[in-house]
Amino acid sequence: MIDHYKSCICCGRECKLNRYQQMGTCKNKNTLKVSKVMLYYDEEPCISGYNGSGAIFFSGCSLNCIYCQNKEISHDNFGKEITIERLSQIMLELQEKKAENINLVTPTHFIPSIKEAIIKAKKKGLEIPIVYNSSGYDHPVMLKELEGLVDIYLVDFKYYDDLLGEKLSKIKNYSSIAKKAIEEMVLQTGENKFENGKMVKGVLVRHLCLPTLKEDSKKILSYLYRTYQDTIYFSIMNQYTPVVKQKEYPFLNQKLAKEDYDEIIDFALSIGIHNAYMQENDTASLEYIPSFDLEGV
């Protein structure tokens, strides 16, 4: 499995670089890198549950979003290199702390190593669900490697218009890649399953609504509901927070207008979406961004 690093296609970029010898476009070689491990309470309620989600924040990213709120780890690649054995141990430590699940945050570029770590941890007694928490820019071939290991896919659908992906995340073909990735995720998990209000299997698709881009948001919601109906859950978020001053795209220097978010929610309801998390209050705040300090690594 680790040989996938020799000609890497972990993400939709398909850079095919030998990550044993050089960094991929994700800013990492073949060695796992983690910035923080914690019980995290700010995911959707069905993910965080009562005890918190066992979040493992990986360093680097397959995207290069100019507005990223986790720039310190995604762009600057802050973190500590660890072994596959250590990652499996971290999973077991989170289970001992009563985490509701293992939440792999931005895992796409480390799939080969993560697969091995999950297998090792399960052999040693890991029983809680595995959550794959990604940007949506995942290669379906690599996702197939996780079949039977991942219980919940917590996935972004950022843009319907590929031009937005090129401008704001420096990637091509985001929409088509995300569509194929979500299709594979749904094939693996089937309809969502819950126990005591907690998701134990399924797909939850997140969409972060960006300022002035409400029509693109509507296209995403329309496509997803038309394609999957109530098979998946939705999370429609208004928490975009400007953290980096934008000169080229000044519309990103503002929060999402309340009337735009309300219009997006009204649209979602009008087309039949009801299995969805919606944010009623102003959640655009830096307080929701973790402090990346190598805790638990």
Domain at 33-288, CATH from 3.90.550.10, 3.40.50.150, 3.30.465.10, 3.20.20.70: 3.20.20.70
Q: Which helix (H) or strand (E) holds 142?
A: helix 140-144
Q: What are the two backbone dihedrals, phi and then psi, of residue 249, each rounded to the nearest 5 degrees? A: -125, 75
Distance CA 7, CA 17 (A): 5
Q: Per-residue pLDDT averaged across 187-213, rounded?
A: 96
Phi/psi of residue 47, nearest 5 degrees? -100, -45
pLDDT, tens digit, 9 for 90 and up, residues 268-279 = 999 999 999 998
pLDDT at 286 > cutoff 70: no
Closest CA to 104 of 124, 123, 130, 138: 130
Token digits of residue 160: 């319907």
The rounded percent of the chain whose pLDDT value lies above 70 is 97
Looking at residue 70, its pLDDT comes to 87
Question: Which pLDDT does position 2 carry in this prediction?
Answer: 56
At residue 264, what are phi and psi to the nearest 5 degrees? -65, -40
Q: What is the Cα–Cα distance from 192 to 186, expressed in whole angstroms?
A: 9
Name the 3-class secondary structure at 294: coil
- Mean pLDDT over all residues of the chain? 94
Tens of pLDDT, residues 44-98:
999 999 999 999 999 999 999 999 988 889 988 899 999 999 999 999 999 999 9
Task: Give the span between the Cα atoms of 183 and 240, in whole angstroms.
Answer: 26
Residue 22: per-residue pLDDT: 92
Give the model's pLDDT for residue 280. 76
101 touches 130 (CB < 8 A): yes
At residue 227, the pLDDT reads: 98
Answer whether 79's CB lies under 8 Å from 59's CB. yes
| Residue 118 pLDDT > 90 | yes
pLDDT higher than threshold 70 for residue 291 = yes
pLDDT digits (tens, 9 = 90+) for 217-227: 999 999 999 99
Task: State yes or no: pLDDT of 115 exceeds 90.
Answer: yes
Task: Give SS3 for 62.
Answer: coil
Domain ranges of the chain: 33-288
Model confidence over 126-185: pLDDT tens digits?
A: 999 999 999 999 999 999 999 999 999 999 999 999 999 999 999 999 999 999 999 999
3-state secondary structure of 239: coil
Q: How confident is the model at residue 40 (pLDDT cuts 50, 70, 90)?
A: very high
How would you class 283 by CB atoms within 10 Å of its CB: exposed for 0-12, middle for 13-18, buried for 19 or more? middle
Measured CA to CA, the distance from residue 37 to residue 56 in angstroms comes to 5
| pTM above threshold 0.75 | yes
* Model confidence at 31: pLDDT above 70: yes
User: What mean pLDDT comes out for the span 257-265?
Assistant: 96
